[in-house]
Structure 1
Amino acid sequence: MFTWRRVRVALLIVALAVVGFALYLDFEVRHAFEGRRFALPARVYARALELYPGARIDPDALARELKLLGYHEGLRGAEPARYEQHGDEFRLVTRAFNFWDGPQAAQDLRVDFRDGRVSALRDSGAHNLALARLDPMRIGGIYPAHNEDRLLVRLDEIPPHLVEALVAIEDRKFFSHHGIDPRGLARAFVSTVSGRGVQGGSTLTQQLVKNFFLSPERTLRRKFTEIIMAVLLELHYEKNEILETYLNEIYLGQDRNRAIHGVGLAAHFYFNKPIKELTLPESALLVGMVKGPGLYNPHRHPDRALARRDLVLAEMHRQTAIDDARFQAARATPLGVVAKPSLGTSPHPAFLDLVRRHLKRDYHEEDLRSEGLLVFTTLDPLIQRAAEAALSGRLAALDRSRSRERTLEGAVVVTSTQSGEVMALVGGRDPLYEGFNRALDAERPVGSLLKPAIFLTALARPDVYTLATPLDDSPLVWKSRGAPDWEPQNYDKTSHGEVPLRTALAQSYNQATARLGITLGVPEVHRTVHALGIARELSPYASSLLGAVELSPLEVTQMYQTIASGGFRTPPRAVREVLTADGKPLQRYGLRVEKAFEPEPVYLLTAAMQDVVREGTAQGLRRYLPDTLAVAGKTGTTDELRDSWFAGFSGDRLAVVWVGYDDNHPAALTGASGAMTVWGELMAAIPNEPLVPPVPEQIEIVWIDPANGLRANADCAGALELPFYRGSAPTANSPCVPAHAEGSGKSWWRRLFE
């Protein structure tokens, strides 16, 4: 009697424990499933290409953009994402897209080109349009743990044949069982006790429980938990709710380090189309991959994937889900997956890194990784591709010509001179590498790139300095308490005596520049550097005048952005707008502009920097760009040729390039022989406007005799027209000017366009 009482008590305790465990699991199931909040990554997009009459884009560039967006050649009625090209004429049907200012329906467009610009834009009814936008290219995301990516879809968006295929091959009794299949469990039990290991027998509901709630371990305890939770799930929720969650949760492949979850994203990844447009054989392929996305990957194992797809179709046919005609037609269809390169979390990880850093100023990391925010950026895919190709191609060519064990590295930043928007950013020679981002984090000595700040400081004093002011380029020894003597030398180891200020910058003479900076005062020059946008503290020693300052390429971009914009400081920005997951505007990042300098000294400096390209250290750019662009720039070379820099701008593009070794080993490259060649190839590959800055009110143009710096006219041999602050130009005439002679001829910038 005593023994039976103990048994009953033990059974009661076990029953209470099971009930308690079931109640706990019931709470867990309802709590997690009722929210059903998948962690959705922020989805990041490039800029949307705008088409309008006069837009500077040629037919080839539009064709490249459409291919990047996954548009297909050949029109099929009003089917979106298709185009036809006939010479300089395009017809295309855009995709519908939800922009910051509201949804835009698909459009049937006619686009005509002439001389590298859009000449006409019309709709299908031949009505003229002022503007049309293409849907932007998705360039990545900011992902939750394990880099899970998914695109949520509703069950009514999913083709019925996909659901039929899934049920036929994975769980034919799904709509009749209550979470578990007793026969399947029996098979699994026999397999387990016979020593063949813990086996499946899982229904779709059990699979969802396993993926949604449990760890991947294969134990009897976890199987028992899975069974109870599956039954509880079926007690509380409708079949369609369970099925929709399953189809959004299921793992369907890997894109480098990005995990593809859910049929919505898988439809785009494998077929480049929305889920509702999937055909029967395409749906069967996705369903077949559920058993093993790696094993049946159609990109790596097409024959195996095809056999698995056909098995799904055969099972659907056997269960009369499809008839003979549909079965035979589907089996005769090729796989049809798009040939996508493996890009991982982003094809442009360095730019995405910049976007993430900008967004972290306003958003928590967890929100970026889980709330499904829609982020619209400034990246121009065509300029980004050109920057990547120029950097990788030139570095490979330089490495081949040098036969060295080390491989050169580099970084590129491209911005709009008007807005400061970052149009491209490359963090290294391998654009897909997600490690060290040199564009943002490589802090290297900038060498002569700091010199424009010295000359800008001088030119802001028109009573003392002009472009024609003679500077002393003789040897210099500077003594400073607490520092060793500083004795700068010119690159060619030669002193050039007295040279005009513009020539000292064009030829990058160190001695003349250092002496000018010391005369102006190191603190005064540093104030100019800070006004240009450099926030970090600088060394108080005179050596900083010649670039003994470590900056990242993005910081250099900020400095030159202020010069290129005519003296207005505009922080480089990578984000335009942020929307919620359901398309509601959340935040817009507008243009921030602050006047840093008067326009006159910046105009004079720009003219001197154009001389750097026209006749100075960067004249090798003539191999890449026509003189009519009149670009301005500056080479930068550091001690022992460790770093090669070039920064320059056209009328609408600014680009900064760094080339060197990560270990700081001498690269044996000057700014002209290394970074400038990357810059030249890049700028030659993208559209640019000529640099013709507006002439400020207080600037006048005067003929100067370079032989003596005196006023001249067009008839003087070698005479130049130079800009001056009004009243600062020489008043005495050169001997070449006859009495009462008047200057005539064409100004220096007009001659550029002849």
Structure 2
Amino acid sequence: MSEARRKAAPPRRHKRHWAVRVLGWLTALGCLGIILGTAAFFIIYQKTRIPDGNVAFEANTSTVTWANGTRPMGTFYDQNRTSVPLKAIPKRVQDAILAAEDRTFWTNPGISPQGMARAAFNIARGEQLQGGSTITQQYVKIMYLTQERTASRKFKELFIATKLSRQQDKSKTLEGYLNTIYFGEGAYGISAAGEAYFRKPDPNKLTVPEAAFLATVLNNPTLFDIDVKANHPRILQRYRYVLDGMRLSGTITEAEQTKYAKALPKLNKKPKSNKYKGTSGFLLDMVRRELLKRGYSEQEIESGGYKIVSTFDYDLQQKMVTAATERRPQKRDNLHVGMAAVKPGTGQLVAMYGGPDFLKNQINWATAKARPGSTFKPFAVAAAIDEEWNPWERNLQGDSPIEVQGQEFNNEFSHDYGVVDLVDATKDSVNTAFYDLVDKQMENGPSKLVDAAEKAGIPKTTVLEKGRENPATVLGPDPYASPVDMANAYATFAAEGKQVELHTIKSITDRKGKVVWEDKKLPVKQAFEPRTAQWVNFILSKVVEDGTGDGAKKLDQPAAGKTGTAGGVGFEHRKADAACGGCKAGTDTLTSWWTGYTTTMSTAVIYRAGTIGESDLDPYSKDPAFFGGNWPLKTWMAFMEPALDGVSETEFTEPPEDELEDSPKPPPPTDTPKSPPPATNTPTPTNTPPPTTNSPPPNTNTPKPPETPPTKTPGRPTITFPTGDPDPEDPPPGEGGGGGGQ
């Protein structure tokens, strides 16, 4: 057959690409999913019933007990609510709330698609759900559901909010919301909020700025707690956001917005509830703050029905209050004591004294950060031991002055100790030896010191982190720590390097009886090698045996600890100091410490003076200065003796025997301390060196030398003070003590 007569081949059929087929299937499945999803939505919607109002919202009191779990400490319930009709709430107040929380309230279907998408995204990431985005959703959560953060609760909220928005007039929803939403300060609803913050229970009397402020805080009463100074910038930012929304809605003019946005309105808050009265008010406040830290909202704390077992031991607390109020100087006006006791190896704060009455003064002197002075030196000891430093080697400069980064620093009264080892440098608190150790001999010494402090449990703060570049960090010249912090950090050494997060709550049980949190689950970290902690304990026990803290020998239990003072210019002297160009620098004692511990209890004591704790302590003592080895140690003893009564005596584990065998050798004659210069008309004091026998105390009439905190005035010597004359009621100590920053 010829080529021409062949039958033409049929055209070739092209197969569709596999990707096109997959896309088609996906499209079909997607459409089916939308159909099924829509059907499911309408089925669930039809079956959804709006429940009765949540009466549990009214008052599920959260209670706090002492550590034994049975003795009541107090409650958080302080619900203040007075309902008012919507017509009694002026439009400016309504608009402020809408501008803050839901600007499309009058037109939206009760839910926010954006909020739903955010909730779905958070669920997919395994994160906690956000609160309701619309006012309707928030109202549903308060009145009909619970505060739990679960996917099922969130979806219930969405369906009920949608149905409520269709079946109930928006005005009624807004009225219910304005009478139930939590504003902080125990205030539920706009009437109670006006009374709590401005003493105005009638919403008609609220001004535009006051309404805008209330709309600001209701968004998150914790984040926008006006009593916390650090919150003020974000409060002002949110307040201006609310005013801008009011301008956009036409409630206020642009000129009014500009006028009101300059500052927050002046508050006129109601006094705190009597539940915070007395010394226990500080304990309740700390428990509340920890609940907030652990993710509980103010509303959950107030009315969640939780039972909270605190770490505070009732008997120990009574002993601490007695010590802090009775064993202190006779002159007491504007003199403050802060105390804290921690059980080593647990992180449990078992007793705390923050002040006599929380309602009268809410500054907690046990948690307020302060200059720790020489109580920071043990962290340098720990850092040095970690660096394999030989504690017995005499290689530290004990003479004054020492030059660091072009600045000269001295010991107290410019006293000379010769070449010293780490044990004696700590025992006698020799400033220059620690400057030599941290700032000259250890590579990156200040940074390693900060690392050691933070490992022990001192909270990481901006001020402390700046100490990594500060040549004076080892003498704690800045507010690095509070008594609570120091007690927990020293407890780490007592527990042979084991560190647990400081806390005030043992367990939390919900209203159904389920334990939802307990401190047994807190991790126990080995912050330091046992050998490091053993050496720190050994060296600090020498401070008690014959150093600046030898008054603690009366405890009749193996104890260790460190004194500390921080000098500067008292608040009342700062104008004069500025006028004379710094002539008063270092003449005042601003903080005085004793932090001491046994194997079973770590307790820190601080003394401060003045309204803000920045006044001179020296007028409160008969000593040349307010020494840590005097009143702070006496107050510590007044607590620790009864607290440890009946507790078995336990020795600290000693460092490795072969290292202890390398005992110190008698120093050569050239290393003996030099006597201070004779008396002159200069401000340098003329007291004798610290005695090595029971010699009479130094002359208390000796003038005190100027002192400059190392970081404040470069080039001037830092002067700190030794333990001075004992109180007349006590026998003279065996050692007068000697190092700086005591």
Report the TM-score, using the length of structure 1 for normalisation.
0.48
Q: Which has the higher contact order (CA 8 A, sep 6+)?
A: 2
More strand by share: 1
Report the TM-score, using the length of structure 2 for normalisation.
0.49
